[in-house]
């Protein structure tokens, strides 16, 4: 375990000076959740208001809000605004509706563990306060939702500092998909690049476009170029040549779920990047909060992989189809990177090195 001193307020100010950090928030009247609609980026930076269960479900399903930590924050706020509508019910009816809303929202995306993690936290507030007035429970749900968000900000700041400690001025880093402030609160895998920019360090970032939904092209390159980071967009199948050219010193990727043995589920294509990096002797780090570590999941074989609409491959970005309308398509949203391909896992508690099955367990044992 590697530990360094982290000044949270200083890091917050540094990242706020270069990055988008208002991607999810409660509305002023606290009756809705306001998000940046990530589907509209990079052409439009548009805020969207969510005030009912179905809109919240669709916002997650359609990737208007995405990124494991961001989904968790969004889920917390959503359960709070929905609970406000049931404030006049008896506890039994209130909990019945809460449970139904929770289960439906949880079904929107199965792979990212932060969704179920945040929803379970919110449910614990309800069950642990069943002897109190419903209005009191609703207020406590608000406090818990805010705590989830504030904890993520703190975790991101720590992860950014730890991640940046792995880099030196002038390094080239390859990243896949998007794990910046849009996908979190202040950023995990892309956060160190923003922090480097704020501190005057020159980090050269190569961003995979991330087919088929182009999160790297639409979101990562948008965030980094907007912040003034030296970013070069490449197609996914160009990762090997930039590594061979000697332009990459490390690979930083996010994580949607980490198994107890260190296997990492992340955006489809991540495992391919790790395999290439292994060939070229380049270290690979997964960056994410401990909330994405599922110690009840023994290994990557036990992680359920979300399958998405085949039309995302056939005709997502063009007026005319990119493939025959009747061709079969396989469209998994995530893949699992074997722990043997990882050099380290960067969390808010420090950098975890192999053996991951031993050291991840130590990470949680230290909490008790």
Catalytically annotated residues: 256
User: How far, in Å, CA of 196 to CA of 13, rounded?
Assistant: 13
User: How far, in Å, CA of 255 to CA of 236, rounded?
Assistant: 18
Cross-strand bridge partners of residue 335 = 266
- Let me know the angle formed at the C-alpha of 76 by 70 and 80, rounded to the nearest 5 degrees: 145
Nearest to 141 by CA among 86, 181, 198, 63: 86
User: How far, in Å, CA of 186 to CA of 288, rounded?
Assistant: 12
For 198, other C-beta atoms within 10 Å of its C-beta total 20
Nearest to 186 by CA among 161, 165, 210: 161
The answer to whether the beta carbons of residues 205 and 231 sit under 8 Å apart is yes
The answer to whether the beta carbons of residues 176 and 272 sit under 8 Å apart is no
**DSSP category for residue 110:** S
For 64, the 3-state DSSP assignment is: coil
Sign of CA dihedral 5, 8, 11, 13: negative
Length of the chain: 368
Residue entry with tokens 């375990």 = 1
The residues near 260 (Cβ < 8 Å, ≥ 6 apart) are: 293, 294, 295, 296, 297, 298, 299, 357, 360, 361
Which contiguous run of DSSP H or E holds residue 230?
Answer: strand 230-234
User: How far, in Å, CA of 67 to CA of 112, rounded?
Assistant: 8
Cross-strand bridge partners of residue 346 = 287, 351
Residue entry with tokens 């979300």 = 306
For 24, the 3-state DSSP assignment is: strand
The answer to whether the beta carbons of residues 303 and 257 sit under 8 Å apart is yes
């Amino acid at each position: 375990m590697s530990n360094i001193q982290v000044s949270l307020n200083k890091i917050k100010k540094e990242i706020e000076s270069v990055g988008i950090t208002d991607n999810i928030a409660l509305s002023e009247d606290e009756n809705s959740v306001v998000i940046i609609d990530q589907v509209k980026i990079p052409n439009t930076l548009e805020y969207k208001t969510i005030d009912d269960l179905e809109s919240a479900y669709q916002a997650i399903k359609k990737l208007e809000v995405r990124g494991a930590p961001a989904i968790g924050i969004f889920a917390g706020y959503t359960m709070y605004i929905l609970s406000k509508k049931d404030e006049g019910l008896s506890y039994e009816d209130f909990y019945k509706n809460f449970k139904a809303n929770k289960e439906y929202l949880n079904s929107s995306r199965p792979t990212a563990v932060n969704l179920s993690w945040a929803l379970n936290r919110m449910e614990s507030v309800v069950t642990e306060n069943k002897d109190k007035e419903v209005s009191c429970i609703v207020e406590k749900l608000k406090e818990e939702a805010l705590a989830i968000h504030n904890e993520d900000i703190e975790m991101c700041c720590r992860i950014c500092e730890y991640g940046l400690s792995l880099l030196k001025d002038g390094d080239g880093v390859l990243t896949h998909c998007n794990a910046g402030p849009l996908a979190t609160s202040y950023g995990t895998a892309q956060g160190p690049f923003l922090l480097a920019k704020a501190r005057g360090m020159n980090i050269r970032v190569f961003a995979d476009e991330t087919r088929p939904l182009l999160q790297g092209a639409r979101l990562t390159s948008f965030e980094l170029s907007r912040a003034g980071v030296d970013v070069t967009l490449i197609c996914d199948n160009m990762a090997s040549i930039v590594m061979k050219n000697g332009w990459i010193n490390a690979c930083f990727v996010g994580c949607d779920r980490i198994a107890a043995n260190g296997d990492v589920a992340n955006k489809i294509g991540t495992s391919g990047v790790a395999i290439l990096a292994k060939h070229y002797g380049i270290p690979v780090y997964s960056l994410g909060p401990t909330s994405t570590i599922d110690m009840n999941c023994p290994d990557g074989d036990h992680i359920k992989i979300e399958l998405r609409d085949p039309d995302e491959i056939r005709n997502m970005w063009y007026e005319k189809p990119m493939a025959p309308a009747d061709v079969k398509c396989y469209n998994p949203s995530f893949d699992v990177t074997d722990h043997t391909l990882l050099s380290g896992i960067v969390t808010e508690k420090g950098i975890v090195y192999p053996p991951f099955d031993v050291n991840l367990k130590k990470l949680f044992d230290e909490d008790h």
